[in-house]
Amino acid sequence: MWKHPATHTHQLSDATGTPMNLLTDWVRAGKFPSTYNQLDYPCESCQSPIYAGRLCYSCLGTFRTAALDIQTRIPRRSATGLFSIAGHAKSY
């Protein structure tokens, strides 16, 4: 690998005969030095190739938007004893 630091995960798998699932587990776990920055693994949501983290930028944005949407729908108790649901306060 030191002769070919720009190798991709699929190329490494083909050249060494190592199963892709084992290689992707090693890459995800950080077993390779950062000089091998072309080694990728699949996003846990959509399976797109990524190089860091668990989700690609697209899926991360989708989950972040969904979380914010859910957060606005959850009733919150304010300091005055009022619940606020999507901007409408009700006293209980």
pLDDT band at 34 (very low <50, low <70, confident <90, very high): confident
Is 68 in contact with 60 (CB distance < 8 Å)?
no
Q: Please indicate, yes or no, if residue 1 is contained in any of the structural domains.
A: no
Q: Which residue has the higher pLDDT, 76 or 11?
A: 11
Q: What's this model's pTM, rounded to 2 decimal places?
A: 0.65
pLDDT reported for residue 20: 92
Q: Which residue has the higher pLDDT, 11 or 75?
A: 11
pLDDT reported for residue 79: 56
What ranges in the chain are assigned the alpha helix state H? 9-16, 20-28, 57-73
User: What is the number of domains present in the chain?
Assistant: 1
Q: Please indicate, yes or no, if residue 48 is contained in any of the structural domains.
A: yes
pLDDT reported for residue 23: 92
Distances (CA, A) of 15 to 7, 12, 87: 10, 5, 59
Q: 41: domain range?
A: 9-91
Pick from 82, 86, 48, 55: which is nearest to 68 by CA? 86
Name the one residue in this structure whose structure tokens are 């693994």. Answer: 41
Q: Please indicate, yes or no, if residue 4 is contained in any of the structural domains.
A: no
